[in-house]
């Protein structure tokens, strides 16, 4: 179906921001469960208990679940706060210690399980990013995620070869889309006005609303809507009737917006 409800052939943007989940990639319940096991196993390997004895995977997993449950009572989830907060509270639950600096430990926790159990890359994202780089258009990712920007930038560039110059993540900023602060941080890192950035993502309520709130251009990507599976995320929110925001069924259609 291509680009729908598009009034202009160009947004006037000179930089691209992409969402991650259901835009750059898609995952499955099995992948996410394997990644979570990897993160728990990493903490169990790097922490020791009060007596100096090793911690079991079950002990660490239970402590992590208690932290998440406590956060949940205040409306927070794992992607709301930095990884260091998660690790620190898990350690407090267990009375654990480590020989690593907290920054190092938090980043290892952030990275754990991703390369061993990677999500599925959307080939359209690679083609779009490669074409834009040829045109001199910088590409960043802006996403709600419990992994740090450093983790994602390294993974996207080193494993998938995506020419991403920045990765802005909710857990680093302590704010989740549609909070405009995530989008504004991306523009700040690119040293451009927000009006120079086009953000493309799969959620109207997060990606489009947030980008427009930051005075960016926005486009809704529907190509991976059939991949939705997580009931916690809820179904995709369709665009309101009569919107002038471009609705893309293929990421390559975003090329016409530059």
Given a cut of 50, is residue 9 above it in pLDDT? Answer: no
* Co-location of 138 and 251 in the same domain: yes
What are 54's strand-pairing partners? 48
* Co-location of 210 and 160 in the same domain: yes
Cα first-last separation, the chain: 20
- State residue 248's pLDDT score: 97
Q: What DSSP assignment string belongs to 100-146?
A: S-HHHHHHHHHHTTTTTS--EE-HHHHHHHHHHHHTT--EEEEE--S
pLDDT (tens digit per residue) in 240-255: 999 999 999 999 999 9
* Co-location of 142 and 239 in the same domain: yes
- State residue 231's pLDDT score: 76
pLDDT band with cut points at 50, 70 and 90 for residue 8: very low
* Co-location of 252 and 156 in the same domain: yes
* Co-location of 223 and 149 in the same domain: yes
pLDDT average, residue stretch 166-176:
97
pLDDT average, residue stretch 102-131:
98
Into how many domains does the chain fold? 2
* Co-location of 224 and 105 in the same domain: no
pLDDT band with cut points at 50, 70 and 90 for residue 163: very high
pLDDT (tens digit per residue) in 31-76: 999 999 999 999 999 999 988 899 999 999 999 999 999 999 999 9
CA distance 67 to 115: 25
- State residue 10's pLDDT score: 59
User: In this predicted model, which residue has the larger pLDDT, 234 or 20?
Assistant: 20
Which of 111, 133, 168 is a domain's end point? 111
* Co-location of 169 and 84 in the same domain: no
CA dihedral 239, 242, 244, 250 (to 10 degrees): 50
Q: Per the structure block, which two tokens stand in for 53?
A: 């004895």
Closest-CA residue to 172 (of 213, 216, 141): 141
- The CATH number of the domain where 7 resides is what? 3.40.50.1000
Which of 87, 111, 135 is a domain's end point? 111
pLDDT average, residue stretch 90-118:
97
* Co-location of 36 and 54 in the same domain: yes
* Co-location of 12 and 39 in the same domain: no
Instruction: Look up the pTM and report it.
Output: 0.93
Neighbours of 56 (CB within 10 A): 11
190 contacts: CB under 8 Å, gap ≥ 6: 15, 138, 140, 165, 166, 196, 197
Tell me what percent of the residues of the chain surpass a pLDDT of 90.
90
What is the domain range of residue 98? 29-111
């Amino acid at each position: 179906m291509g680009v729908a409800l598009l009034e202009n052939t160009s947004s006037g943007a000179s930089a691209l921001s992409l969402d991650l989940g259901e835009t750059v990639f898609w995952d499955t319940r099995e992948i996410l469960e394997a990644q979570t096991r990897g993160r728990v196993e990493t903490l169990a390997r790097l922490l020791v208990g009060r007596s100096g004895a090793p911690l079991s995977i079950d002990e660490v997993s239970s402590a992590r679940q208690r932290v998440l449950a406590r956060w949940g009572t205040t409306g927070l989830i794992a992607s709301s706060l930095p990884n260091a907060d998660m690790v620190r509270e898990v350690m407090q639950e267990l009375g654990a210690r480590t020989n690593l600096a907290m920054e190092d430990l938090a980043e290892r926790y952030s990275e754990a399980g991703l390369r061993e159990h990677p999500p599925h890359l959307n080939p359209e994202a690679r083609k779009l990013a490669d074409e834009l780089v040829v045109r001199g258009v910088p590409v960043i990712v802006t996403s709600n995620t419990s992994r740090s920007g450093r983790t994602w930038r390294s993974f996207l560039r080193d494993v998938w070869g995506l020419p991403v110059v920045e990765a802005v993540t909710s857990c680093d900023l302590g704010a989740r889309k549609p909070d405009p602060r995530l989008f504004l941080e991306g523009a700040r890192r690119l040293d451009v006005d927000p009006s120079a950035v086009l953000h493309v993502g799969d959620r109207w309520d997060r990606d489009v609303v947030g980008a427009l709130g930051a005075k960016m251009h926005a486009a809704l990507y529907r190509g991976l809507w059939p991949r939705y599976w997580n009931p916690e995320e809820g179904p995709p929110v369709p665009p309101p009737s009569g919107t002038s925001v471009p609705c893309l069924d293929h990421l390559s259609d975003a090329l016409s917006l530059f």
